[in-house]
Every structure is written in C-alpha cells, then in structure tokens.
Amino acid sequence: MIPNTMSLWNDLGKKFREVANISEYIDIEGANNSIRKNIYFRGANVWILAFSIIIASVGLNINSTAVIIGAMLISPLMGPIIGIGLGLGIDDTGLLKVAAKNLLVMVIVSLTASFLYFLISPLNPVTATEIESRTNPTIYDVIIALFGGFAGIFEQSRKEKGTVLSGVAIATALMPPLCTAGFGLAHLKFGYFLGAMYLFFINCIFIVLATYITVKYLHFPEIKFQNAQAAKKTKSIIAIITILVIVPSLWSAFLMIRRNNFEREVIEFVAKNKTLDNGYIYDYKINTSGKRKAEIYITGEIMKSSEKQRLINAAQDFGIKENELAIKEHSINSEDAGYSEKLVKGIYERTDSEINKREAQIRLLEDKLKKISNKEIPYARIAKEIATQYPEITDLYLTKGAEVKNTDSLAINERILVVAKSKAPLSEEKTKRLSEWLKIRLEDSTVVVINQR
C-alpha cells in the first residue's frame, strides 16, 4: 500500500514539474533588453502618461470605474518600477539610478497633470468613493501589488508576449493613487495626498520586490566587475537599497494585517453586541493611526459598572483589549451635535435587525406549520368516503401512532392505524383493498387496517 502511494506521489510531482517548468518559455536576454527600453520617460511617453492621467482623473472625478480602467490600459507606468527591481536583482547600479530618475519623472508628470486638472475642474464629486478608496491602503493592496509584480516580470520574461501587462496595469492600479494625490494637492486635502502617495509607494515597493525575487529565481546574468573594490562597493550599495526596500515593505504588510484584523474584530464585536440590556450601540469609530482604538457610542439608561465590565469582557473575546476600547454613553435627552441623527440611524438599524429576525422566525414557523398541515388526516372526509364504499362498517377509528419493536435496538416506527368496526367480519380481500386505498388516499405507505367486530 505504501509503495503504491509513494509511486503515485512521485508521478504527480513529476507531472506538476513538467507543467510548471518555464525554462523553455523564458527569454532572459530579450526580457533584459525590453525592460531597459521601457524605463525611459521622454518624448511621446511623457505626453501619453499625462493624457492617461487626465483621463483617470476624470474617471475619479465622475466616479466612473470604466473610465479609470480605460486610462490604466493607456498609461506606461510599469517600466521604471520593474527596472528598479531588475537593477537590484543583477547588481546594476547604473540601471538602478536611471530607473529611479525616470520613476521620479513619472511621479512629477503624473502629479502635475492631475493637480492642474483638479485645480481647474468645475466638477466637485458628491460621492467620491473612487477617490476615498485610494487613501486607505489595505493588505489586499499589498497582495495585489506583489502578485501583479510577479505576473509583470514573468510576462516580460517569456518568449511570446501577450496581454498580461495590460491586466497587471489594471490590477496593481498605479495611476489612481497618483491622481488622488493630485486631487489632495489641488483641494488642500493633505490627508488624501499622503494616503494616496502611501498606497502608490506600497504598490511600487511590492512590484519591485516581486521583480527582484523573480530575477534571482530565473538567474538573470549579474553585472561583471573588472575592479574587485568597485564590485564590493556596488554590491554593498545594492544590498543596502534592497534591505531598505524589503524591510519597510514587510513591516508595512505586518501593520496592515494588524489594522485589518482589528477593524474586522471591532465590526464583529459591535454586530454581536449591538443590543444591550437597557440600551444599544448606535455608532462606532475605529482609529488605527498610531495607537489603535475603538470608540463605541451607546444610548439608553446609564450603564452600571458590572454591565460595562461585561461589555469589556465581550470585547476581549474578540481580541480587543480593555485599553483599546472607549465606551461613550449618551442619555436619551442628550443634545450633542449629530447625536440625534446617529441615534435615529441606530434605532432604524436595531429595528430592521429585530424585524429581520422575527420575519425569519415567522417563516420557519410557517414552514413547520405547513409540514404539519400536510400530514394532518382529513378524518371527516375519509370517514364519509369509506361509508359510501363499505356500508357494513359501522365505526371507524383513525389515529397516528408509533410502532415500538421490543428489540435490542428498540426500533420505533410511525404508523397510521385504522380500526374498522363492522357488523360482520370483512373478508381478507376487502380489508386488503381498504388498506391499499387508504395508502393511496393518505399518501402514506405505513397504513395498517384492523377489522374489529
């Protein structure tokens, strides 16, 4: 048994290596040349970038995802970023410097174009969900950037080029953060600017990291140095830059995971504890910048210390520490600004929740009642139908019961028992015919007919 299992695993492993083998499809020299050519931002590339940035800015301005995606298909943003990853991977400081300079040019052109557009645009987004979504990076942005970077460098490295780079440009979403940063500068909303630039650099860093890992994995040829001292110095610079790229990116990913977990824990805690003994949670706020904190707003009667402690203990069950929870109480006659609106919202949410629960219970009870009704025996109708067919039957007893077989397993089976009293004994044939008719009429094969004088 074990040798057969080992053989199966070996065959599966061999088949997987055959399918996943990429050596026949990779053109390292061609990839090297292609990446170096796509680094530069000058001439037509600068104008194409500016135009695509303005298109993306319009998309953000009118809250149109389709327009933003169209702009991302046009923009040549990936070149310098992949170039930095290649420079790090092959110890090429010259390439690294050129790619970094062109990335800076790209950022300046993008910010200038988006800033000028939002400065003169008469449109003021009412529901700026597309803009706001680019100011709060999450761990999902990290994952998308990392695996988008892998897809990008593999696409650059394979012999037959496809449309993967267009998809990577859309997935990693490098343009919208730059446009959002321009919006923040134009409207003096520096929170938007900093959040969007943070998202942009997170995307850049993880695309660089993915490129660096792939370049090392595919064994791109490293730069050969004539001077040993120059080689040592260059490798030291590359190592320092690599550490400066990788360590912050890993730390950023760790912080994002912690922040996302905390937000999820708070949302689950509020959802499970919304209704309290003499009040309810009508609003909450989550602060993850600096020391993380969850503020919950409660209305109703003033809570006793024991009730507060129960709430704190409930929060700890969701991983929220006591010093991370702030309980804000408001009495019914509170006159705080904005309190009434949030209170009414909280009441509606609570009412909707209770209505939904009750409706679910009603549906459940209705289903149960329907099942019971379907199983109910129409006693009067059955009695009349039997009387017309069997006039010799004087009395009829119909009941549901359980047949208990006195065995070791104590088998219990449900039955419909029919006791038919007659002046003279029914023949065996009539009794059988009555039994078969009742099984069809009642749609139940468990009918048992007993004839009694």
316 and 194 share one domain:
no
Q: What is the mean pLDDT of residues 85-104?
A: 86
- The count of other CB atoms within 10 Å of the CB of residue 122 is 5
70 and 216 share one domain:
yes
Mean pLDDT lowest among 135-144, 146-155, 213-222, 358-367 = 135-144
Spatial separation of the C-alpha atoms in residues 147 and 328, rounded to whole Å: 42
Give CA separation, 150 vs 142, 145, 171, 316, in Å. 12, 9, 12, 39
35 and 87 share one domain:
yes
Q: Is residue 290 part of a domain?
A: yes
- 3-class SS of residue 414: strand
89 and 150 share one domain:
yes
269 and 324 share one domain:
yes
Location of structure tokens 């549906």? 363
Find, among 453, 429, 445, 442, the residue nearest to 398 by Cα: 442
At residue 263 the predicted structure's pLDDT band, cuts being 50, 70 and 90, is confident
332 and 406 share one domain:
no
Q: Which domain holds residue 441?
A: 379-452
37 and 164 share one domain:
yes
195 and 76 share one domain:
yes
Q: Is residue 164 part of a domain?
A: yes
Strand order in the sheet with 393-405: 393-405, 411-422, 447-452
Q: What is the CATH number of the domain that holds 383?
A: 3.30.300.30
Check if the beta carbon of residue 235 is closer than 8 Å to that of residue 91.
yes
Give me the percent of the chain exceeding a pLDDT of 70. 74
Q: What is the mean pLDDT of residues 19-38?
A: 76
Point out the domain boundary residue: 345, 369, 398. Answer: 345
Helix/strand/coil percentages in the chain, nearest 5: 65, 15, 20
Q: How many domains does the chain have?
A: 3
Q: Is residue 56 part of a domain?
A: yes
217 and 155 share one domain:
yes
Whether the per-residue pLDDT at 346 is higher than 60: the answer is no
Q: Is residue 230 part of a domain?
A: no
Spatial separation of the C-alpha atoms in residues 79 and 238, rounded to whole Å: 19
Q: Is residue 169 part of a domain?
A: yes
- Span 389-411, pLDDT tens digits: 878 877 877 777 766 666 555 56
Q: Is residue 275 part of a domain?
A: yes
Q: Which residues pair with 422 in a beta bridge?
A: 393
Give me the percent of the chain exceeding a pLDDT of 90. 1
337 and 205 share one domain:
no
At residue 167 the predicted structure's pLDDT band, cuts being 50, 70 and 90, is low
Residue 298 sits at φ, ψ, to 5 deg, of -120, 140
Q: Is residue 53 part of a domain?
A: yes
Point out the domain boundary residue: 292, 321, 345. Answer: 345
144 and 63 share one domain:
yes
Q: What is the mean pLDDT of residues 110-121?
A: 89
At 429, list the tokens. Answer: 């044939």
Mean pLDDT lowest among 5-19, 157-171, 184-198 = 157-171
Q: Is residue 351 part of a domain?
A: no
Spatial separation of the C-alpha atoms in residues 369 and 377, rounded to whole Å: 14
Element (H, E) at 450: strand 447-452
Check if the beta carbon of residue 444 is closer than 8 Å to that of residue 417.
no
197 and 110 share one domain:
yes
Q: What is the mean pLDDT of the chain?
A: 76
Of the CA atoms within 13 Å of residue 359, those in its CB half-sphere come to: 6
Spatial separation of the C-alpha atoms in residues 334 and 344, rounded to whole Å: 13
Spatial separation of the C-alpha atoms in residues 281 and 270, rounded to whole Å: 7
Whether the per-residue pLDDT at 197 is higher than 80: the answer is yes
